[in-house]
Structure 1
Amino acid sequence: MTAPHAPAALAADAETSDTAPAPENDAQRCIRRPGSTWSRCKCADCRAHDARLTKLNRTGRYNATALATAQARAFTRLEHWIALGWEPLAIASATGVAQPTCWEIVREIRAGHRRDLQHATVRRILTAGPPTAGFIGVTGTRRRLQALTWMGWGLSRLSQEIGIPVMTLSDARSDNGPSTVAAVIAATIADAYDRLSSTRLPARQPHAHAARHRWAPPAAWDDETIDDPTVTPEGVDTTAGAGTARYANEPDVVETVELLYSAGLTDQQIGYRIGLTPSGVQKLRLRHKIRRTA
């Protein structure tokens, strides 16, 4: 086969060079991170976007203060969740933010640093729901179980009611138990607490157990703050020794004991009503010289 004529080969090369796509310019390739506001990207879309933001900022229609406020609110929520014992996986399940991102954010917050969050991340944090995976602090779960015990709900009965093993409930209820609990278990117990906390069972042993350990009843907790470790039960003296008055407003308790004792109730019956052991009621009567009226 003979070689192509030189002019024909040159013409073919010229035609190929005219039809081949030109290599993409690096300056035209978009390098903007998803969710970012300002970028160093020089592609046509990003230049138009930045020009529009510049114009809005110049005319006062771009509210940078609102964006900074949203960032601050997001970090406040994150710090609150960390204080409640939420692990990064729990935060990721509640917000929809990627788990590696949550790990990095939590690590930086614990180190005392705050980085700029993407707008999509801020929105997800501010619209987060309850966690559905991972572990959270056990404080709220423990208080709910202890309050249900005060209302007469023993662990066996509660286990049958909500389908959680007795040992799991016992570990979560104990003051010496683990510091975290699975988010799904915490949600199940919280739902049971909402349904059962207003129902007093006649079982005396669980209530007496709660009284001995000075556990607070449901009325002592606010639904908004029961999970907060820094909040104490309202009207309850948790520092009192076993068998003594549990309530900080002891004069009201003394008056109640006096009325019930005068009505003929025994120490055990009075203790069942106000959350004291029989010996605690007896000590209270002797200390305040409460006697039956003729």
Structure 2
Amino acid sequence: MSARPHGYARYRLDGCRCYTCAWARSRYDENRAKAIIAGTWQPWVDAEPVRAHLRSLQACGMGLRAIAAAAGVGRSRLQAVLTGRPERGTGPQKQVRPALAAAVLAVDPTLDNLAPSTLINPAGTRRRAHALVAVGWPQQNLATALNMQPGNFGDMLARPHVLAGRARQMRELYAERWNADPAAHGATPAGITRARRHAAAKGWAPPGAWDEDTIDDPAAFPEWTGVCGTPQGRSVHRRIGIPECQPCRDARTAARRPKEAA
């Protein structure tokens, strides 16, 4: 018995002739006839954009099985688009169904889709670790939570890439602890104080300076004051005792230019 749900696909592929499948077939035929009359019937589209997108996803570290799962299609269908079906002696498909094209083109190489061993930009992982230290989490405590040695934890934050699997772990740890009390998780008062001082000396931004839609963006800057990037940002930095950030320095420089030109 097929595990496919009752509908048009089961009617065509499995030969089911129950009421539900037969009704789905009649609806398909009716809609097809209307589209042909209206001149909008388009059963196939060019496969090349789909093939190019599949290769781009693979270059980002996604396997074909992961892409198929994310798109909700069979792996063999994607293999046919890429290389064809050798057992049938056919080359790569030249055309695909619009629904398959739309499903594949909608897949993005997000952190959740990547294989654990894929190397990615470390910006988000590093910022989350720095933010946790800024609110009092000792690095040794964070390393233990990630099943890492403290030395390896520090090395990870200094590398130009990080494993996607490790980045997911850090994201989950950050979600659990950004507003939690380090003391409740075994951190000592002295360790908490040292962590905060270390982060302040390094200029590491706390969780409140980041939004979830910017923390992973390598080009983004932390929002320290609520008015960073404006002429008012510098004075707020001074008032709260935080080193001036680059957007505020740029805003201060831009504000001076009209006066210097005059």
TM-score by length of 2: 0.50
How far, CA to CA, are the matches of 1:184 and 1:120 in structure 2?
A: 29
Q: Distance in 2 between matches of 1:88 and 1:165?
A: 29
Q: How does 1:3-22 map to 2 (within 5 A)?
A: none
Which string of whole-angstrom CA distances, capped at 9 and with x for unpartnered residues, describes residues 51-87 of structure 1? Answer: x8686155165589xx99xx89x96xx98x89xx943
Please give the per-residue CA displacement for 1:177-228, whole angstroms capped at 9, x wherever unaligned.
132x222211111000001111354412222222222221111111122111
Identical counterparts, % of pairs: 23
Spell out structure 1 runs of 4+ moving beyond 6 A: 115-118
Alpha-carbon distance, 1:95 to partner: 5.6
**Is the 2:128–2:174 Cα contact (8 Å) retained in structure 1?**
yes
Any conservation in 1 of the 2:237–2:243 contact (CA below 8 Å)? no
- Alignment partner of 1:189 out of 162, 170, 184: 170
Q: State the match for 1:211 in structure 2.
A: 200
Instruction: For 1:82-121, list aligned pairs within 5 A.
Output: 86-89=60-63, 93=66, 96=69, 119-120=99-100
The CA distance in 2 between the partners of 1:150 and 1:117, in whole Å, is 52
Q: 1:59 to 1:168 in 2, by over 3 A?
A: farther
CA distance in 1, matches of 2:175, 2:95: 38
1:209-248 map, 5 Å: 209-235=198-224
CA distance in 1, matches of 2:68, 2:105: 5
Calculate the TM-score normalised by the size of structure 1: 0.45
Alpha-carbon distance in 2 for matches of 1:191, 1:256: 30
Q: Secondary structure at the match of 1:96?
A: helix
| Pair 228,254 (structure 1): closer, same or farther in 2 beyond 3 Å | closer
The equivalent of 2:103 in structure 1 is: 123
Q: 2:156 maps to which residue?
A: 172
**What 5-or-longer segments of structure 1 have no aligned partner?**
1-48, 106-114, 237-247, 258-273, 277-294
1:139-178 residue pairs with structure 2 within 5 A?
139-174=123-158, 177-178=159-160
Q: Which amino acid aligns with 1:138?
A: P
Aligned residue for 1:250, secondary structure, equals: helix
Please say if residues 152 and 204 of structure 1, whose CA atoms lie closer than 8 Å, have aligned partners that are also in contact. yes
Please tell me whether the aligned partners of residues 95 and 127 of structure 1 are also in contact (alpha carbons under 8 angstroms): no
CA RMSD of the aligned region, Å? Answer: 4.5
Shift of 1:140: 0.9
Q: Distance in 2 between matches of 1:232 and 1:92?
A: 36
Asked if structure 1 preserves the Cα contact closer than 8 Å seen for 2:135 and 2:196, the reply is yes
C-alpha spacing 1:232/1:139, structure 2 compared with 1 (3 Å): same
- 8 Å contact 1:156–1:166 — kept in the other structure? yes
Change (3 A) 1:209 1:197: same
Q: 2: distance between equivalents of 1:87 and 1:127?
A: 13
Aligned equivalent of 2:249: none
Contact 1:171 1:178 in 2 (8 A): no
1:146–1:93 Cα change, 3 Å: farther
1:208 is aligned with what amino acid? R
